[in-house]
Structure 1
Amino acid sequence: MRVDLFDFELPQERIALRPVRPRDAARMLVVRGQDAPFEDRGVRDLPALLEPGDVLVFNDTRVIPAQLEGRRASGEAKIGATLHKRVDLRRWQAFIRNAKRVKEGDQLVFGGGVTAIAEERHSDGSMTLLFEGDEPVEVLLDRAGSMPLPPYIAQKRGIDEQDLADYQTMFAKEDGAVAAPTASLHFTPELIEAIDARGIKRETLTLHVGAGTFLPVKADDTEDHQMHSEFGRISQEAADRLNLARAGGSRIIAVGTTALRLLESAACDDGTIQPFAGDTDIFITPGYRFKGVDGLMTNFHLPKSTLVMLVSALMGRERMMAAYQHAIREQYRFYSYGDSSLLLP
């Protein structure tokens, strides 16, 4: 499909630079089947919008301070590195700013005495960085790194201490993401209490979101776009509980596109969800037949992004384009710190 079919005009003032407080005070646009009117609701309405027995599936990945600023050891050339994906205990794949100044074998010097060797350069422009020393890489990142806010926020204001809390979900447990699963940013202990009281079940999985989630689709056709792979895990126990709920007639509602992508990666043609541990580069576009999920809670995404294509696959392209125009007219807040939507095909 042509990528420009997923384009739309978004006024800059609709991009949220800070989250609302409290988190569950965000608005939520409910989008159902083709003939149903759009519903302007709030995130706090979520328990009433779902049925007892439905299962909300959250991503428990934790964002690490994966943004590094430094220079080449052999010169004054300033470079930036955004870690993308762990390779092994000491190596990470990273996107490099000012990459033309970096050669394979160069030593890079970051803050706090943290150094890394630029190893292999990849076809997508990223490089593998080997972090030097004996301390765990997580310790080095805590010393030298900063929170990797999306470019559409970082370009408009500085990253500060508040972002350390704001850009982390209440479910964050497993270190490894370089971007937050932002649909889960709306949840609070009070909202979870209301969800539990309603009889709605909860499940968690892990997908370490990579920096590739921020990259624009540069191809003119979706067939020519290559997704970056990300590591995910679904336990046997979680898969068993999800399958039992589905067999009993309950719906599986993914909280965020990251949870949805992993569930679909793990789902068989008959809808059975298998345990999963490995990389996924699943790319969901209109025409895809969903197997593992029955609905999605998600924020509003960038024009021509793979995530707009994903929600269009779930609800229909024309339906989602109409929903986004409604959201713009009604002054919903967009992107990572913005409002939410509940998509129920």
Structure 2
Amino acid sequence: MGVVVDFEDSGKRKASINGLTDLVKVDLEQVNQTIIEHMQSPVALIPQLAGHLIAAGGKRLRPMLTLGAAALCDYKGDRHIRLAACVEFIHTATLLHDDVVDESDLRRGQESANAVWGNQASVLVGDFLFSRSFQLMTADGSIEVMRILSEASAVIAEGEVQQLITTNDTATEESAYLEVIKGKTAKLFAAAAEVGAVVAERPKAEQQALESYGMNLGIAFQLVDDVLDYSAEQEKLGKTVGDDFLEGKITLPVILAYRRGDDEERAFWRRTLEELDQQDGDLAKAQQLMAKHHTLSDSLDRARHYASIARDALGLFEDGPAKDSLIDVVDFCVERAY
């Protein structure tokens, strides 16, 4: 079965995003109100479907990065509110499209929008939310903000297409996998954090530092997500595992297991992930092979590496509650695996 490795300092306090949540609580309430206002439409299905996904929860991590970065930069205005909502609309739109592409029936433990309303409605409402995000960018009036967020939208789409290309391809290299997760996940983290410095009109070095923080946090976040999909610890907690396996997605734990396996093991991976010829017990065998070759723990080591870069990127900023809360987010994203 999958393995769980101990954090190096198991005696330290448990990391949490509560510090960031408390720091931006008032701003986040305004973001949520902005989201509700801007997902309205006379076409009743649009707010109904969008509201289904938004009401399903989620930590609002990406918009909170915008709010937290703005706090770190001592920003006193209100532009970050609309831009945080913009970030959440981009994220929500990608979730709607992802569930259609992946043919997912569940999202955050509830029926996915495409399972309830069908693929066509989900794709079109996703398009509507993308459009709303661009309206919010335009209302902000900053060409630099629009450049950052529109570029992120394009890169996310490229990452999703690249993932389609690598799905079911066991010959995928680690470098190609990293490009996928930088695009489909980390780029929006990077943009969300960077615009917090841009609205505060901070020096370019600080904008770049927050972009680096978000990018490396996003990479670590996705690496841990990909580990959790095979984690025995997740099964103990009653959480779903094996979705990536069922879909034939090529993630780092698979890449390492394939690279380190013998001919018989590689044949197993080709049968289950390339041909999608999966039988009872195949997921358990995949987990056993990952344990044999330490691919989950090694993938977590990669996540720690990127998490360290994210922490270091905040070194330019003064110590204080905002900086502490953003560092806690890094630790939380990695410690989810334990």
Q: Give the alignment's TM-score, normalised by structure 2.
A: 0.29
- Is the strand fraction higher in 1 or 2? 1
Q: Give the alignment's TM-score, normalised by structure 1.
A: 0.29
- Is the helix fraction higher in 1 or 2? 2
